[in-house]
Amino acid sequence: MLDLWSVADAVPTPTDRLEPLQVLLSADPGALIVADAAGELVGSLIAAWNGWRGSFYRLAVHPDHRRRGLATRLVRAGEQRLRERGALRLDALVADDQSAALRFWSAAGYDLQADRRRFVRNFGVAP
């Protein structure tokens, strides 16, 4: 998974480590949605539910498998998962400088919420 994120040029975050990924899978095994081709991991999406809203993280597709609808299928699977849990609102975190990702989410039917900013605080990891 971590290799996929690196190859897919996902913007690195402090939680891109094995331990936080294991914690996620332990707490909510269905949150990580993956796609494979011939046994090779080629896509991922974290579809997290906090009991109130659904959030998408780490949508990544291997460069050799892009432009085939894989990202859209991952998002639709994530939407279904979160709607089944009761989510009425979904959001996706996208870095400002990721123009292809911004275009993708817009084409997938998501609106850019320009009037909000995100505050973060990292514990136990280097920023």
pLDDT of 93-121, one tens digit each? Answer: 898 888 999 999 999 999 999 888 888 88
Please give the C-alpha separations between residue 60 and each of 18, 30, 33, 45, 71, in angstroms, as whole numbers: 17, 17, 11, 7, 7
Domain boundaries, given as residue ranges, for the chain: 2-107
Task: Evaluate whether 53 touches 91 at the Cβ level (below 8 Å).
Answer: yes
pLDDT at residue 19 in the model: 92
Which residue is associated with the tokens 């999406």? Answer: 45
pLDDT at residue 34 in the model: 96
Task: Evaluate whether 105 touches 113 at the Cβ level (below 8 Å).
Answer: no
CA separation for the pair 55, 79 (Å, rounded): 9
Residue 15 confidence class, pLDDT cut points 50, 70, 90 = confident
Residue 124 confidence class, pLDDT cut points 50, 70, 90 = low
**pTM of the entire predicted model:** 0.90
The CATH architecture that domain 2-107 belongs to is: 3-Layer(aba) Sandwich (3.40)
Left, alpha or beta for 58 (phi > 0: left; psi -120 to 50: alpha)? left
Decide if pLDDT at 28 tops 70. Answer: yes
